[in-house]
Chains A and B, each alone.
Chain A
Amino acid sequence: EFRRFSLERSKPGKFEEFYGLLQHVHKIPNVDVLVGYTDIHGDLLPINNDDNYHKAVSTANPLLRIFIQRKEDADYSAFGTDTMTRKKNVLSNVLRPDNHKKKPHIVISMPQDFRPVSSIIDVDILPETHRRVRLYKYGTDKPLGFYIRDGSSVRVTPHGLEKVPGIFISRLVPGGLAQSTGLLAVNDEVLEVNGIEVSGKSLDQVTDMMIANSRNLIITVRPANQRNNVVRNSRTSGSSGQSTESSLPSSTPNILGSVLQGEEESDDEDIIIEDSGEPQQIPKAAPTSESIESLSQIELLHESTQNGFLPSSEMNLNHSAGSISMEYEVPEQGQKSLEEDGTIITL
């Protein structure tokens, strides 16, 4: 639902007035909403006080895109939103570690309210033009939400520049995991899937590889927009990978450079065994001497009459705020897309 209205730039007024105006314009007088806007870098930032409201108006050029969202929708039952006292929004500011000016506005609540949805990893070992993104699918009902296509890219080869076939992201589904992380964009070239190079593989093969890894998908891309590349500095180069993973109940090894694959991720290996008749919890499978890899299983009780089993969605993760390459999604699940269904305000 779009609304377009004008404001006087010189006299923006107070946030409360603006908030009231929004409620009025949208005819939602008694609905609590979260308000956000896109800044000049394309980041979605919250408007919840006079200061950021004024900042937002001053950056309008001349359009200011405002996004509003029902608070209830944003409340994601699994996460303690009651601890969220302020309306806020964070998006892709992790992409610019040097851009700290909005950081103070992010109020980090209790760690268990958070879980990782994506992270940038291996920053120190990849070329700056590449980005390795890890998407955490499990524990959420959110679809991965992207499409890939065939395309061609230009490579430098011993024989000069050469056009070679490649795989590209063709679409991001609004509200999907891929889109909401902001780490992947349309026309990004996919170079690797969980450490396996995709060159020479067909679209269908890459699709199968991605789906097979969908519970812990690591995609290395060459972003179409190279402006947002991670700049290496002392802070990032120190921590390759992400530190939070140690708290994942299931995962053991981290992805280290290109030494991935095969044996490492066991986080998608959850096997639920059900014993006859009476509900009974099967003890966790202990790795045998033959298999050094640690396999983790999540075993839950459930009735024999049940056919399906839903994976645990209660895997809350500890959060370590120190890792800049980590991105968190706050419980505003239904975050609207930047481009597609925002409310536009003309000033």
Chain B
Amino acid sequence: MRRFLRPGHDPVRERLKRDLFQFNKTVEHGFPHQPSALGYSPFLRLMAIGTRSGAIKLYGAPGVEFMGLHEENNTVMQIHFIPDQCQLVTLLDDNSLHLWSLRQHGGASELREEHHFTLKGPPGSPPSATQVTAVLPHSSREVLYLGTESGNIFVVELPSLRVLEDRTISPEAVLQRIPEDNCNRRSCELVEALQEHPKNPDQILIGYSRGLIVLWDLQNNKATQHFLGSQQLENLYWQRDGSKFISCHYDGSYTQWPVSSDNRQSEPLENTVPYGPFPCKAISKIYWQTTKNGLPYIIFQGGMPRASYGDRHSISVIHGSQQTAFDFTSRVIDFFIIFSSDPAAEFDDPSALVALAEEELVVIDLKSAGWPAVHPPYLASLHCSAITCSHHVSNIPLKLWERIISAGSKQNIHYSSMPWPIDGGTNIAPDPPQRDLLLTGHEDGTVRFWDASGVCLHLLYKLSTVRVFLTDADPNDNMNTLGEDEWPPLRKVGTFDPYSDDPRLGIQKIYLCKYSGYLAVAGTAGQVLVMELNDEDAEHVVDHAEADLLQDQEGYRWKGHEKLKTRDGPVRFEAGFQPFVLVQCQPPAVVTSLALHSEWKLVAFGTSHGFGLFDHQQKRLVFVKCTLHPSDQLALEGPLSRVKSLKKSLRQSFRRIRRSRVSSRKRRGAAGNASEVQEANAKFDQDALQEMELAPVQRKIEARSAEDSFTGFVRTLYFADTFLRDSSRHCPSLWAGTNGGTVYAFCLRVPPAERRMDEPVRAEQAKEIQLMHRAPVVGILVLDGRSTPLPEPLEVAHDLSKSPDMQGSHQLLVVSEEQFKVFTLPKVSSKLKLKLTALEGCRVRKVTVANFGSCKTDDYSENDLAVLTNLGDIQIISLPFLKLQIRYPCIRKEDVSGIASCVFTKYGQGFYLISPSEFERFSLSTKWLVEPRCIVDMPEVTSNNHVHSKSGTENAARKSSSDDFGEDERKSGRLMEHALLNDEKVLKEIQSTLEGGR
């Protein structure tokens, strides 16, 4: 520790460090930010989602996940799987095409980009000549047809992505056989849709934007039939048998057309405006699905009456007399139908509608009566109300886990019981080592309980604190507003609801005791709720207390929000966590710290004014302590919350504006506009940059003083059974750290269990430590005689931890934003320190004790501090000697919300928000690593010249066996195959020889 001794490079320790620490970003949980495209492979049963930042994510059975990122970070406009292949093609908004494939490597599949390609026109041609608007992967798997803005259809060879120039279908060729009085060159501008004939791969249907539809014979290179639509075309869909197709239009109509070789020009069979007669919005996509009972399903996006429902984002399903318009809270990006993919089957028999909206994925079960939603096992919208805080609890006891699941299942009865229909691939990751819960607090006063054990972040249970309070919006208002005769028959689906009735309900701090099932949550308006888990519905009165944190101070005026009004009388609570105590801080400032001790039955809470201790057994306030500096007017008036909320609402309204602009823009216009916008942005950035150069940013160098604002802000609270007064007797204690670098220690007297209800809990201030550097105290920890952090309450009682060493002397670790300091106890003297900021110029944002196990031996583990700094670096610092072990860059330092949202787990993992809707999961440990590992098998190769001839019957045979059984069989079969032929090349070779033999 001499200063001349540089941090030692002890080779033994270095080796141990390699066995303990390792940094990996393992998986992204939640819903992709700004999704822009959707694709589905009925063959692989995989779904792909593309985003505006150029990411593509593939999802199959729970746990089967792949992610890829386009280098260019451009918006993904379209995703198309190559039929019967482990390959897909993406079209970006820079008009580039990218071919991706899933390849097996080291026993697991990986998503990799193979080629990319941009269509080039002849020199001098306008960019629109090659602007791709429609993509058709042909079932022969040899070519892609690319429709363009110019009306040309280019043919691109797969997998080389080379243009076959002689096969281009030009508008001139198309017009040759069409009477001139109906069509001219302009009719063939912009290819809107390309669809292959379901039975005859030599025929494709070409739809041009102005309404002309042509059936094109690829063999003879001529149009065999044409259809004159009077309305601007949006999309086309073939009926399964190829005898009819359906077109949907800009005016909100759809039209059925007969296909027969007799007629060169066909008249429409039927033209319908489903939500007419008033002008309607465009129907942008349509499905026509046949069923055994003869009544087809017609499923389409949009088409709402322009004037009264033009702002709705809907997908309508019509089946006979049943009609529902599923009403989404955010823009619908795209949707697909899962139906019988077996080409030999006579009917489509649709089973599920999968809709990707901007903020969530909604799956509707079309087989069950009432078309209920299916609860997705992944892609949860974390941000259905904005996340305000999160709390992670590792290693949940099975009993509590089951009780939470059972409480959650009672909330999910309205969901369909259908198994998750997107079930491709096989999850081969080992089972998660333990049950972990991630709790997120939300702006609308809810707490969501997520199963964070594995790759799929799955919602287990949702808790709402709203019922305790009287709010403007009565929760019953929204229920059952749908009348019988409502037209259009809208039905709200999805959970995304970004608007909070009352921002004061927002959850700020959460503390769950996994042993007792006690939960404390605290919110924006100074409310602290203590809850316990009840397996039954119950109606009871919530005990209510007020904590005046300004007790001794006078003459202050709180200018912030009012406290929440409480409901009088008993309140009905559903099974799950039910509040029994409510403490409201006065002034009702944001609760900034919270601690719960389930063994002593005490809850401590702090705000910018002070902190208090509440005995939730006797339901009595034990004490309050005002930490406010008399001159700190800012904290008193409460602008902290005001400034914050103003900023937030501004940000949100901007976001809303931006979003609505994006959504109002037409799809194909996006490319042009986007580049303009980008240019404008670039120019703006440049201007801003120049301006900055003229007036450089300055930073004031000044020491912190006691008079600074918000010094009294309570940052951390901690319960410990330690030696506070003398070294012979330990006692319960409460520690509090403030923004101004002060640590208060209170000695508590908790009556023994048998007299717990009779005697009051007493508290007495024992110590006050002022850190002279006055940096905010962000963590307090007591180390026992073996320098091990004290166990959590009840941990020892449940035999899950060694009891702490009460023989040796205890030490106090105080972590400020700038320094780590170890003090002796009970006599406080400084023992050790690490001056992080003075050394590295970074500040501590988050700190937790984490247990690291060695990947080499099971019997070694140690406790270290996991620290996230304001630069986004993660550092591991040893205990108790405060030596920096290792440092990893993790989050960009500009990503302030990412840094603020980070939570560490007890075993060296962590989560942070990479967007409002996505958590990135990372691991610092070699031992505890949760990452996706899955296999998607190569499809059987079928002969090239005729689709589905052989594989079709094979599939049919397989499908004819019972569904579940077939499923299992397929999986196990593939696993075997996989085990035998691990090498994909070998597999290919064998297959090609087999083919040759055939």
Contact = CB atoms under 8 A, between A and B. Distances in A.
Interface of A: 137, 143-151, 170-171, 178, 193-194, 196, 198, 201-215, 217, 253, 259, 261-264, 268-277, 282-286, 288, 290-293, 295, 297, 304, 307-311
Given A253-B3, A271-B771, A149 B702 contact: no
B769 A215 contact: no
Interface of B: 1-4, 627-629, 696-704, 706, 711-712, 725, 740, 742, 747, 764-773, 775, 818-819, 823-824, 827-833, 835, 837-843, 870-871, 893
Contacts of A193: 841
B4 A259 contact: yes
Interface centre among A214, A307, A309 (most CB of B within 10 A): A307
B818 A212 contact: yes
B872 to A, nearest CB: 12
A273 B773 CA distance: 14
B841 A290 contact: no
Most B CB within 10 A of own CB, among A146, A205, A309: A205
A144 B702 CA distance: 6
A271 B1 contact: no
Contacts of B703: 137, 143-144, 211, 214-215
B696 A170 contact: yes
Contacts of B742: 307-308
A147 B831 contact: no
B701 A207 contact: yes
B3 A205 contact: no
Contacts of A274: 767-769
A139 to B, nearest CB: 12
A141 to B, nearest CB: 9
A310 B772 CA distance: 9
Nearest 9 Cβ contacts at the A-B interface: A285-B829, A205-B841, A214-B703, A212-B837, A274-B768, A263-B3, A207-B699, A209-B841, A308-B706
A171 B837 CA distance: 23
Nearest to A263: B3
A143 B702 contact: yes
A317 B823 CA distance: 29
Main secondary structure of the interface of A (DSSP, over half): loop
B839 A262 contact: yes
A286 B706 contact: no
Given A149-B696, A213-B838, A310 B766 contact: no
A308 B770 contact: yes
Nearest to B832: A291
B709 to A, nearest CB: 13
Contact of B832 (A148, A253, A271, A290): A290
A234 B626 CA distance: 59
A273 B838 contact: no
B700 to A, nearest CB: 5
8 contacts: A148-B701, A203-B699, A206-B699, A210-B701, A215-B703, A262-B835, A268-B772, A274-B769
A309 to B, nearest CB: 5
Contacts of B767: 273-276
Nearest to B2: A292
A209 B837 CA distance: 5
Nearest to A207: B699
A282 B1 contact: no
A212 B3 contact: no
A171 B4 contact: no
Nearest to B829: A285
Contact of A277 (B4, B629, B765): B765
A290 B787 CA distance: 13
Nearest to A272: B770
A148 B699 contact: yes
A234 B704 CA distance: 40
A173 B696 CA distance: 17
Contacts of A170: 696, 698
A170 B700 CA distance: 9
B3 A264 contact: yes
Given A212-B819, A212-B835, A272-B769, 6 more contacts: A171-B698, A194-B838, A201-B841, A211-B837, A276-B767, A288-B824
A288 B831 contact: yes
B765 A304 contact: yes
A210 B841 CA distance: 8
A212 B842 CA distance: 10
Contacts of B831: 288, 290-291
Contacts of B711: 308
Contact of A208 (B629, B712, B740, B837): B837
A268 B819 CA distance: 12
Nearest to A309: B770
A149 to B, nearest CB: 4
Nearest to B706: A308
Given A151-B696, A285-B830, A205 B842 contact: yes
A273 B768 CA distance: 5
B270 to A, nearest CB: 67
A310 B707 CA distance: 10
A36 B835 CA distance: 43
B706 A310 contact: yes
A260 to B, nearest CB: 8
A147 B700 contact: yes
A273 B828 contact: yes
A275 B766 CA distance: 5
A15 to B, nearest CB: 40
Nearest to A296: B830
Given A269-B830, A295-B830, A261 B838 contact: yes
Contact of B765 (A151, A203, A276, A290): A276
Contacts of B775: 212
Contacts of B840: 196, 205, 209
A289 to B, nearest CB: 10
A325 B197 CA distance: 92
A217 B837 CA distance: 13
A295 to B, nearest CB: 4
A288 B696 CA distance: 48
A209 B704 CA distance: 13
Nearest to A169: B701
A206 B841 contact: yes
A272 to B, nearest CB: 5
Nearest to A286: B829
Given A147-B700, A268-B772, A271-B771, A208 B765 contact: no
Contacts of A269: 772, 830, 833
Given A150-B696, A170-B696, A209-B837, A270 B2 contact: no
Given A147-B699, A277-B765, A262 B830 contact: no
A135 to B, nearest CB: 10
A149 B699 CA distance: 6
A269 B897 CA distance: 32
Contacts of A214: 701-704
A293 B770 CA distance: 20
A292 B3 CA distance: 9
